[in-house]
Amino acid sequence: MKQKTEVLIIGGGVVGTAIARELSKYRLDVILVEKEADVCTGTSKANTALLHAGFNADVNTLKGKLNVRGNELYHQLEKELDVPIKWIGALVVAKKESDMDKLEELLENGQQNGVPDLEIIERKELFELEPNLNPDSIAALYAPTAGIVNPFELTVAFAENAVENGVEVLLESEVLDIEEQDDYKLVRTAQGDIEAELVINAAGLYSDKLANMVGSDDFEITPRKGEYYLYDKKLDIDVNHTIFPVPTEVSKGIVITPTDEANLLIGPNVEEVEDKSDLANTREGLDKVMRGAQETISDLGMNGVIKEFSGLRAAIKETEDFLIEASEKVRGFINVVGIQSPGLASAPAIAEMVVEIVKDEYGQLELDTDFNSDHQGIPRFRHMSHQERAKLVEQNEDYGEIICRCESVTKGEIIDAIRGPIGARTVNAVKRRVRPGAGRCQGGFCEPKVVDILAEELGIEQTEVKLEGKDSQLLIEPAKESLQKGVIDSE
């Protein structure tokens, strides 16, 4: 059946979902289409998860302008969306006298961008903040307004709050083609056609392909890989801030940072790749990450590493900046593209900017007085006191059944994830929302249980449960049958 909408957003990353939520403040029909089986499966799921303070990007760029505003907006959003942010601050550490000029340059650039409370601190204060730094560290730029966030919870919260305010999110709905009609675009998706008056292209790495469909072909996206090591929470090297080395012309360097869940994360390197789906980790890339981190804290090594992963930056090489504008060639088509770092930090500011462009294109928008800014997240059993846990279990005994022992995730939280406004349909979608499998054993113990709960909740066979997207079924026959066969075979 053909659907009609006033605005169609393509892409369910942090940018598309933040735009959807911002547009849901107005009386407007909005549909968001995402090609995968969940939101937050592209670049938004694999990055350093920093809410940068905003001293890096040049003052004359969109990145420079939007980063600081985005960072500011997150103070309100963390309360509204129930997504905790740790405002731990960032340090750029100098190791030689010649680095000091670069610190001064960053300080000045940050001040021009409007970053508050930036200062250069001396060695003594630096070691009070970070005692485990290598002894050759001499000073640092300190940016107390930098934060860390869980990008999965954030993106899901943007999307779910948009849905709570009337936006329709269609998953597994890849846009295959866009045809221009007289006063609308006919968007052909894997789930049927949609007539849209305005199309917003927030398709990340594939946004050039989408733009090409309507002849808005004036930019090209180059994928740039960044690789990471993630450490177990029980690591005996404490890091309190996000720590950068002094940046080079091409990179911010290898970052060392705690995550929102108190793991330690190191990375990313920078490697241009040809294939937009090439997320393979490489020996060379990971070695660069480890060597880079050891230049800042030499005690770091492979001990305690629980996972490696990589993400792909969607870069426009000609400008190295975001491109956010109504296409000059194609009426009713807005590009929100080239959103590499600091795209996560800037997302709420990008959304504000896009709403202004929509107003220019569409005419003044009427505010929806029923807009509800508050989204209720899923209880976080792992962070609760004994009393809070007891109260929760009293309400529903599913919160008393631990499924993931590493991360203390309960059956109740997993069921909440599946029954949410954008319910998890895959094992990874559950993991992104409530963390079973994100801990030390990486799902070794809990994954079969998560498969069981998904099958039961969705009314499907265990063999139909997928890890992520198409063709990613985990089992070829029910687990119990395999176990029984194993017993019989070994007799």
Ligand X SMILES: Cc1cc2nc3c(=O)[nH]c(=O)nc-3n(C[C@H](O)[C@H](O)[C@H](O)COP(=O)(O)OP(=O)(O)OC[C@H]3O[C@@H](n4cnc5c(N)ncnc54)[C@H](O)[C@@H]3O)c2cc1C
For residues 221 to 240, the per-residue mask of contacts with ligand X, x marking binding by CB under 6 A and - elsewhere, is: -----x--------------
Partners of 229 in the beta sheet? 266, 308
168 vs 162: CA distance, rounded Å: 8
Q: What letter represents residue 231's amino acid?
A: Y
Region label for 166, one of left (φ > 0), alpha (ψ between -120 and 50) or beta (otherwise): left
In angstroms, what is the minimal distance from the CB of 421 to ligand X? Answer: 18
Binder among 6, 8, 13, 430 for ligand X (CB under 6 A): 13
In angstroms, what is the minimal distance from the CB of 7 to ligand X? Answer: 15
If the CB atoms of residues 190 and 390 are measured against ligand X, the closer one turns out to be: 190
For residues 157 to 196, the per-residue mask of contacts with ligand X, x marking binding by CB under 6 A and - elsewhere, is: -----------------xx---------------------
Specify whether the CB–CB gap between 405 and 447 falls below 8 A.
Answer: no
Residue 401's closest CA among 414, 388, 391? 414
For residues 367 to 386, the per-residue mask of contacts with ligand X, x marking binding by CB under 6 A and - elsewhere, is: --------------------
Contact between 312 and ligand X per CB under 6 A? yes
Q: Spell 235-261 as b/e; 16+ CB within 10 A means b.
A: beeebebbbbbbeeeeebbbbbbbbbb
Contact between 147 and ligand X per CB under 6 A? no
- DSSP for 220-249 reads --EEEEEEEEEE-S--S----SEEEE---S
Options 29-37, 104-112, 450-458, 480-488: segment touching ligand X (CB under 6 A): 29-37
Contact between 41 and ligand X per CB under 6 A? yes
Residue 172's closest CA among 386, 391, 483, 472? 472
Residue 259's closest CA among 435, 86, 67, 128? 86
Options 83-91, 201-209, 362-370, 378-386: segment touching ligand X (CB under 6 A): 201-209
Binder among 9, 12, 260, 264 for ligand X (CB under 6 A): 12
If the CB atoms of residues 178 and 434 are measured against ligand X, the closer one turns out to be: 178
In angstroms, what is the minimal distance from the CB of 430 to ligand X? Answer: 18
Specify whether the CB–CB gap between 37 and 226 falls below 8 A.
Answer: no
Two structure tokens written together for 349 = 């500011």
Contact between 15 and ligand X per CB under 6 A? yes
195 vs 6: CA distance, rounded Å: 8
Annotated catalytic, 375?
no
Contact between 36 and ligand X per CB under 6 A? yes
Contact between 11 and ligand X per CB under 6 A? yes
Contact between 202 and ligand X per CB under 6 A? yes
Return all residues near 56 (Cβ < 8 A) that are at least 6 apart.
67, 106, 109, 110, 247, 252, 342
489 vs 483: CA distance, rounded Å: 10
Options 72-80, 199-207, 290-298, 406-414: segment touching ligand X (CB under 6 A): 199-207
Of the listed 52, 75, 383, 386, which one is catalytic? Answer: 52
- Cα torsion 426, 430, 432, 433 to 10°: value is 140
For residues 248 to 287, the per-residue mask of contacts with ligand X, x marking binding by CB under 6 A and - elsewhere, is: --------------------x-------------------
Contact between 203 and ligand X per CB under 6 A? yes
Options 6-14, 90-98, 453-461, 470-478: segment touching ligand X (CB under 6 A): 6-14
Contact between 339 and ligand X per CB under 6 A? yes
Options 43-51, 276-284, 351-359, 419-427: segment touching ligand X (CB under 6 A): 43-51
Two structure tokens written together for 152 = 């999965």
Options 40-48, 156-164, 403-411, 436-444: segment touching ligand X (CB under 6 A): 40-48
Return all residues near 241 (Cβ < 8 A) that are at least 6 apart.
88, 89, 90, 91, 129, 130, 146, 257
Contact between 304 and ligand X per CB under 6 A? no
- Cα torsion 57, 63, 67, 68 to 10°: value is 70
Count other Cβ atoms within 10 Å, centred on residue 8: 29
In angstroms, what is the minimal distance from the CB of 269 to ligand X? Answer: 9
Q: What is the number of the residue whose Cβ is closest to ligand X?
A: 343
Two structure tokens written together for 19 = 């735009």
Binder among 258, 311, 437, 443 for ligand X (CB under 6 A): 311
If the CB atoms of residues 12 and 379 are measured against ligand X, the closer one turns out to be: 12
Partners of 8 in the beta sheet? 31, 199
If the CB atoms of residues 15 and 83 are measured against ligand X, the closer one turns out to be: 15
Options 7-15, 76-84, 96-104, 132-140: segment touching ligand X (CB under 6 A): 7-15
Contact between 90 and ligand X per CB under 6 A? no
Helix (H, G, I), strand (E, B) or coil at 285: helix
If the CB atoms of residues 90 and 392 are measured against ligand X, the closer one turns out to be: 90
Helix (H, G, I), strand (E, B) or coil at 251: coil
Contact between 22 and ligand X per CB under 6 A? no
| Catalytic machinery residues | 52
Q: Which residues bind ligand X (CB under 6 A)?
A: 10-16, 33-36, 41-44, 47-50, 52, 174-175, 202-206, 210, 226, 268, 311-313, 339-345
